[in-house]
Amino acid sequence: MDSRSTFVKRFGDLIALLRVDPGNDAAQDLALTAAAAAVESDPVEVEAGVEWSVIPDDLTLKGRLLARRVEAIRIAAGAEPDELLALARALSHDQVPVPSSLNVTVTMVEELTPPPSSPPAPLSRPERSQAQPRRGTDRRGWQERRRPGRAQHPGFDRRRGPDRRGTGERRLYLISAQRDEIERLHEALARGSRELAWEAVLATAAALVRLVPKVPAADRRTYGIQVRRAIPRPAVDAIVDLAARDPALRGHATDVLRWVGSDAAEVILDRLVQGEAAGVRGFYYEVLGGIPGAYPLVTALLASHRPDEVRHAAVLLGRLGQPAAVAELASLLTHHDESVRVAGVRAIGEIHDGPAAEPLRRALQHPDGRTRAAAAEAIATWRGGALALLLVGALENERDRDAWPALVHALGRLGTVETSGALAGIALARRGLLRQGYSSGQRLAAVEALGLSDSPPALTTLERLARDAEGVVRYAADRMLHAERRAG
């Protein structure tokens, strides 16, 4: 699309928005930016085409030119957005004069002088007031308002005139209402804390957090500090206890506790260290995983002598996802407790921005079978299986009854061409007299792994096995295909 067509389309969109949806500032800004970009280097001339036999839509640029009796507009290269906005506002209006400016030239249709005739009857007073056009802006003057006695706002709060929408100024009454709402919520929060009405405190704090995106960007940091100070430590403890007892409150509690930040992280980590109640650990992990400031508190737990505390720290570091945590977690590969090693390896697989390739490769060669199985799961997770070839190579030497199925299932979940081909090779390699190849159980496990992914390479491989394999492998592949088709 050339610059002229782009300008006609986007400038027409801007006029239509100003006419039918004047409050949609975001869409107007997008249309104005696109129109200004179209004339940034090339001039544009648009004629109304009054000789057309078909009148265009009233909401198009040419339709508005005809409606306002404009013969042509000429936009010079590099026209300012303010000039384009003033022209668009005039064209969207029915009576405001269409202005020319330094870079915008407007040519009106010449009016033919009618022949002399009897003078028209004078308009009555009501008709005269209705026929008079408004003055040169699309906003009524002070004397034309319905309530001319309303007080003007001096100083910083004074309105800036017809260009305030283009400059992004928020409406005074919206800001005033927002300030009143914030003050009311702060009073309710303080009252609920004094009365120990913790459910009301949680609801009020959640409402304050939801207001954050609506606060002007310049005031947002101060607003956040005020909200955090308004939620005392006893209220944080009570909110954690409420959410632990009632799962229905955990959504609001998660938002509030994450906003509180480090103070909430300390409270929840104390709960984890003391021993959490059944079913609450996931909630604690969810909250702490969204508080970046909890990172130093969590890493401090890695030095604990209690395996459960170290395991909590490993899981949380994986959820926080900070690249620096990879080195901390890699040191857990030498931990004496198996559950700590497994948690550390799985957490490494969740940190996609960190240098996890080497620690995962070492974990896949660990003497412990469960650690190798955890490494297989982590490799299948990390960056969508970027290290899948490590699993293919490890299968040839893996003999552990727990680790081998984990490697095969990890390959099946990836469902790529390479992993599907490796599983097909296992399914077709029948064990011979020299103990080479794979047992029937291993071959069936490979077929089962192919069914873990519904990717095209995995389905194609199952179809090939159902056609070319023999015995139980062929039967298992055929049954897997039938199950996939029924599920689809």
Structural contact between residues 415 and 457, judged by C-beta atoms closer than 8 angstroms: yes
Residue range 318-331, pLDDT digits in tens? 999 999 999 999 99
If one compares 343 and 136, the residue with the highest pLDDT of the two is 343
CA–CA separation, 309 and 137 (whole Å):
68
DSSP character string of 187-205: HHHHHHHHTT-HHHHHHHH
Q: In what order do the strands lie in the sheet with 44-47?
A: 44-47, 70-75, 104-108
Structural contact between residues 291 and 261, judged by C-beta atoms closer than 8 angstroms: yes
CA–CA separation, 150 and 147 (whole Å):
6
Residue 263: CB atoms within 10 A of its CB come to: 16
SS3 70: strand
243 falls in which pLDDT band (50, 70, 90)? very high
CA–CA separation, 480 and 100 (whole Å):
73
Model confidence at 138: pLDDT above 60: no
The mean pLDDT value for 13-32 works out to: 84
Please give the structure tokens belonging to residue 357.
């390739």
Please give the structure tokens belonging to residue 49.
């085409």
Q: What is the predicted pLDDT for the residue at 18?
A: 87
Q: What is the predicted pLDDT for the residue at 150?
A: 52
Model confidence at 370: pLDDT above 60: yes
CA–CA separation, 319 and 311 (whole Å):
13
Structural contact between residues 478 and 466, judged by C-beta atoms closer than 8 angstroms: yes
Place of tokens 């283009």: 166
Residue of 19, 113, 28 whose CA lies nearest to 58: 19
Structural contact between residues 7 and 38, judged by C-beta atoms closer than 8 angstroms: yes
Question: What is the per-residue burial (b if ≥16 Cβ within 10 Å, else e) of 149-158?
Answer: eeeeeeeeee
Residue range 416-425, pLDDT digits in tens? 999 999 999 9
The mean pLDDT value for 274-278 works out to: 72
The mean pLDDT value for 394-405 works out to: 88
Residue range 297-308, pLDDT digits in tens? 999 999 999 999
Residue of 414, 415, 410, 382 whose CA lies nearest to 394: 410
CA–CA separation, 153 and 291 (whole Å):
42
The mean pLDDT value for 351-369 works out to: 93
Q: What is the predicted pLDDT for the residue at 274?
A: 86
362 falls in which pLDDT band (50, 70, 90)? very high
Structural contact between residues 286 and 278, judged by C-beta atoms closer than 8 angstroms: no
The mean pLDDT value for 138-145 works out to: 57
Model confidence at 363: pLDDT above 50: yes
DSSP character string of 82-147: HHHHHHHHHHHSSSS-----SSEEEEEPPPPPPPP-PPPPPPPHHHHHHHSPP-SSSS--GGGSS-
What are the residue ranges of helices labelled H in 365-414? 369-381, 388-395, 403-414
Structural contact between residues 262 and 230, judged by C-beta atoms closer than 8 angstroms: no
**Extents of the domains making up the chain:** 3-108, 415-488
Residue of 393, 444, 448, 392 whose CA lies nearest to 416: 392
CA–CA separation, 185 and 192 (whole Å):
10
The mean pLDDT value for 127-153 works out to: 53
CA–CA separation, 265 and 289 (whole Å):
10
CA–CA separation, 402 and 421 (whole Å):
22
CA–CA separation, 264 and 284 (whole Å):
10
Q: What is the predicted pLDDT for the residue at 486?
A: 74
